[in-house]
Amino acid sequence: MRSLTAATLFAALAGFGILIAASRTLSVADYERFFAAWGAFFAGTGIIDGLTHETTRSVNASRRASAPGQARPWKLAIGVGVVGALLALVLGGPAGALLALGIASYSFQAVAAGSLAGTGRWRRYAGLIAFDSGIRVVLAGLAWWLNWGLTSFWIITVIGALSWILIYRHIDIVVDADQRTFNRRSAAAMAAAGSSAAMIPGFPFVLHLTTHGADSLTGVTIGAIMTAVTFTRAPIVVPLQRFQSALIVRFAHTTHVRALAIPVGIVLGVGLIGAILAGAIGPRLMLAITGNPALVAPGVVLALLTFASAFTGVLLITGAASLARAQHRRYVLGWLSATLASALVLCLPLPLEVAVISALIAGPVIGGTIHAWR
């Protein structure tokens, strides 16, 4: 498990590094186009992560089942990959072809990752995460050093999704269901993951649609809020996203309330400590990262956004617990309710900072309550 912890921390830092490299290499216009493709890709892979979660649960459950199921997750991966690739081609704009390739490939990576997690092969799972992120950050460093253009950063965005090819021969998947049941459960998990994608990588876009022109108490701009949301939630949310499979396995073996209370308490504690640090050094750090004062939010806003991001982390934990108990409908309902509640709060006639911070707390509290309700 130490290897998984190290890999998730590396993945979080790698994401920061790639965004910094792009901001320092590309023009403002090209950076915006890159960020749009980056967001689209990770929103798409966020949906497909539901396939990882269900594969993890199903593979782990098959080890305790009297008779294993006959489903073939690779078969579903092909269908998901084709649909995802077609959507990327239609909606992806100039980067559509690369996005299509990346999303199609990621569907296979999702199954591979779920199989490794479900069988407890954490070192190999950590290696998959590390290689996925590592190849991106190395190429981003070269792109920064050699002043490569926009297309290179589009390639960098999707290239890690090919990592599954390295371990394909070592994957032997046995699940606990027939094909129809596995497909139905995976669809439910991906529906919930789609809401997760809207709450996490897609949140800045939702923010732009719902709060454009809103007044601000501190003079902060929407651009600064978007940047702040992205950077303040990453240290908490990105590792938890990577730990979803580990959490599912943990919760599958116990129903004790402490199994849920301990990780929730840890995440809220980390959020509180992070909020103190963000308030003290956040503005200077954001200025150093972006190099643009217009993208820097005040310390108090950064502190509150950091603590609010911990509630998204709590929602990820409660969602993993409900999925581990095979409560697929509750899992989906919790995520959909959280997304809808956050969007509704953003639409209220509130100051910009108040609306965003309230949305990031209210949505996860409602969704997490639905997940955890006995």
Q: What is the pLDDT of residues 237-261, one digit of tens each?
A: 878 877 777 788 888 777 656 778 8
User: What CA–CA distance (Å, rounded) separates 113 from 120?
Assistant: 11
Residues 6+ apart with CB under 8 A from 23: 31, 289, 290, 291
Same domain for 219 and 171? no
Which residue blocks in 63-178 are alpha helix, DSSP H? 73-91, 96-118, 122-146, 150-159
The answer to which of 35-39, 149-153, 216-220 has the lowest mean pLDDT is 35-39
Per-range mean pLDDT, top range of 84-93, 110-119, 256-265 = 110-119
Quick check: is 147 in a domain? yes
Domain count, the chain: 2
pLDDT for the residue 257: 62
Same domain for 115 and 238? no
pLDDT tens digits for range 261-318: 888 999 999 999 999 999 999 999 888 887 778 778 899 999 999 999 999 999 999 9
Q: Which residues of 64-77 are buried (b: 16+ CB within 10 A; e: fewer)?
A: eeeeebebebeebb
Quick check: is 197 in a domain? no
Quick check: is 96 in a domain? yes
pLDDT band at 65 (very low <50, low <70, confident <90, very high): low
pLDDT tens digits for range 175-206: 888 899 999 999 988 987 887 777 787 777 67
Same domain for 240 and 105? no
Q: What single string gives the DSSP state of each residue in 295-361?
A: G---HHHHHHHHHHHHHHHHHHHHHHHHHHTT-HHHHHHHHHHHHHHHHHHHHSS--HHHHHHHHHH
Same domain for 217 and 158? no
**HSE on the CB side for 256, CA within 13 Å?**
7
Residue 372 has pLDDT above 90, yes or no: no
Same domain for 163 and 206? no
Same domain for 129 and 24? yes
Of residues 215, 236, 244, 223, the one with CA closest to residue 306? 236
Which of 127, 150, 183 is the last residue before a domain boundary? 183
User: What CA–CA distance (Å, rounded) separates 230 from 305?
Assistant: 10
pLDDT for the residue 70: 82
227 with 290: CB under 8 angstroms? yes
User: What CA–CA distance (Å, rounded) separates 208 from 213?
Assistant: 9
- Could you tell me what percent of the chain has a pLDDT over 90? 35
Quick check: is 189 in a domain? no
Domain hosting 210: range is 202-374
**Amino acid identity, residue 251?**
F
φ/ψ bin of 326: left (φ > 0), alpha (ψ from -120 to 50), beta (otherwise): left
Tokens of 39: 């967001």
Which of 133, 152, 183 is the last residue before a domain boundary? 183
The answer to which of 17-21, 82-86, 215-219, 356-360 has the lowest mean pLDDT is 215-219
Quick check: is 241 in a domain? yes
Indicate the burial class of 209 (C-beta count within 10 angstroms; 0-12, 13-18, 19 or more). Answer: exposed
Same domain for 87 and 126? yes
User: What CA–CA distance (Å, rounded) separates 176 from 190?
Assistant: 18
Same domain for 138 and 242? no
pLDDT for the residue 153: 93
User: What CA–CA distance (Å, rounded) separates 356 from 348?
Assistant: 10
pLDDT band at 156 (very low <50, low <70, confident <90, very high): very high
pLDDT band at 361 (very low <50, low <70, confident <90, very high): very high
Residue 320 has pLDDT above 80, yes or no: yes
Same domain for 131 and 178? yes
Helix (H, G, I), strand (E, B) or coil at 36: helix
- The mean pLDDT of the chain is 86
Predicted TM-score (pTM) above 0.85: no
Tokens of 119: 């069988």
